[in-house]
Amino acid sequence: MSNEPILRIADLHVCIDDTQILKGVSLEIMPGEVHALMGRNGSGKSTLANVLMGHPAYEITGGTIEFLGEDLAEMEPWERARAGVFLSFQYPQAVPGLQVGNFLRKTVQALRGDDSPSAREFRQELNNAMSELDVSKQFLGRYVNDGFSGGEKKRFEILQLLLSKPKLAVLDETDSGLDIDALQTVAKGINASMGSESGCLIITHYQRILDHVNPSHVHIMIDGEFVKSGGPELALAVEEKGYEWLS
């Protein structure tokens, strides 16, 4: 294991439309670590996720984000993706007319460039990923997130996670709206994508998913700040007592 962090955020301040949302967030994720982020609705969790991916609507007004030692703020979203940052969206977007199979192939090509698999290798890889997640073949002919159920969208995000093999996976409420079986499948996918050289930030409201992915660190965000960080026991405490005692 190397000693360089995958992600190092220092005193991050972020605005949207002149409203301050993040008010000094610091976080370090080392290779092999899974960090959970919990917090009330509207506290700024998705904001952090979007900023990590480079959403153009957010403005960084202070602090730094380093990804494998590089200044992430200087990179376009697609450069971040190609460098190994992956975001599983809380609200995945539909693209009518864009077929899932076609989209995944293009995505893998965009991410891996010269190292892209041949059509046959890609099909093999895709088949493996799809059977791991219990996704049926018919899925490939549908349009990206178009008319997908909530659970299907989340499962599709994880399918993309498996094919993207990122160094940093940011999963924004990937467990929301999943039935019990789907939750286990999705957790299996998350675990399969994690390696000793990658890191994961998983945003969630529930302990359930954490039983499966075993985070080493848990952070609680309230009103744009991390008010408490700790080990897995913190998530259990939140589950039991809510957020009141922390604010």
Partner 1 sequence: MAENTDARDAVGDYRYGFHDPENHTIRFDSGLSEQVVRDISALKDEPEWMTELRVKAYNHFANRPMPTWGNMSMLEDIDFDAITYFLKSSNQTENDWEDVPEDIRNTFDRLGIPEAEQKWLSGVTAQYESEAVYHSIREDLEEQGVIFLDMDSGLKEYPELVKKWFCTVVPYADNKFSALNTAVWSGGSFIYVPKGVHVEMPVQAYFRINAKNMGQFERTLIIADEGSSIHYVEGCTAPTYSTDSLHSAVVELIALPGAHIRYSTVQNWSANVYNLVTKRAVAHENAVVEWVDGNIGSKLTMKYPAVILKGEGAHAEVISVAYSGKGQHQDAGAKIHHLASNTTSKILSKSISKDGGRGSYRGMVQVSKKAQNCKVNVVCDALILDEGSRSDTYPTMEISNPTCRSEHEASVSKVSDEQVFYLMARGHSEEEALALIVNGFFEPFTRELPMEYAVEMNKLMALEMEGSIG
Ligand X SMILES: Nc1ncnc2c1ncn2[C@@H]1O[C@H](COP(=O)(O)OP(=O)(O)OP(=O)(O)O)[C@@H](O)[C@H]1O
List interacting residues with Mg ion (CB under 5 A): 45-46, 90
First to last CA, the chain: 36
38 contacts which partner out of Mg ion, ligand X, partner 1, none, CB within 5 to 8 A by kind?
Answer: none
Classify residue 240 as exposed, middle or buried by CB count within 10 Å of its CB (0-12, 13-18, 19+).
Answer: exposed
In the list 39, 54, 199, 224, the residue contacting partner 1 (rule: CB under 8 A) is: 54
| C-alpha to C-alpha distances, 184 to 78, 96, 134, 213, nearest whole angstrom | 30, 29, 11, 10
C-alpha angle 189-162-119 in degrees, rounded to nearest 5: 140
Q: Judged by CB, which is closer to Mg ion: 45, or 228?
A: 45
In the list 68, 111, 221, 234, the residue contacting partner 1 (rule: CB under 8 A) is: 111
| C-alpha to C-alpha distances, 53 to 79, 82, 91, 158, nearest whole angstrom | 10, 11, 14, 16
Site residue total, ligand X (CB under 6 A):
13
Q: Supply the minimum distance, in Å, between the C-beta of residue 17 and ligand X.
A: 4
Is residue 59 at the binding interface for partner 1, with CB under 8 A as the rule?
no
Residue 106 carries which DSSP code? H
142 contacts which partner out of Mg ion, ligand X, partner 1, none, CB within 5 to 8 A by kind?
Answer: none
In the list 16, 98, 192, 237, the residue contacting ligand X (rule: CB under 6 A) is: 16
Q: Judged by CB, which is closer to ligand X: 162, or 173?
A: 173
148 contacts which partner out of ligand X, Mg ion, partner 1, none, CB within 5 to 8 A by kind?
Answer: none
Residues in the chain: 247
Is residue 42 at the binding interface for ligand X, with CB under 6 A as the rule?
yes
Is residue 43 at the binding interface for ligand X, with CB under 6 A as the rule?
yes
Is residue 45 at the binding interface for ligand X, with CB under 6 A as the rule?
yes
Q: Which of residues 65-124 bind ligand X (CB under 6 A)?
A: 90
Q: Supply the minimum distance, in Å, between the C-beta of residue 176 and ligand X.
A: 9
In the list 76, 121, 197, 211, the residue contacting partner 1 (rule: CB under 8 A) is: 76
Classify residue 38 as exposed, middle or buried by CB count within 10 Å of its CB (0-12, 13-18, 19+).
Answer: buried
In the list 22, 87, 162, 218, the residue contacting partner 1 (rule: CB under 8 A) is: 87
- One-letter identity of residue 193: S
- For residues 57 and 54, what is the distance between their CA atoms, to the nearest angstrom? 9
Is residue 107 at the binding interface for partner 1, with CB under 8 A as the rule?
yes
In contact, 25 and 223? CB cutoff 8 Å: no
- For residues 28 and 19, what is the distance between their CA atoms, to the nearest angstrom? 25
Interacting residues with partner 1 (CB under 8 A): 53-57, 76-78, 80-82, 86-87, 89, 91-99, 103, 106-107, 110-111, 143-144, 160, 164
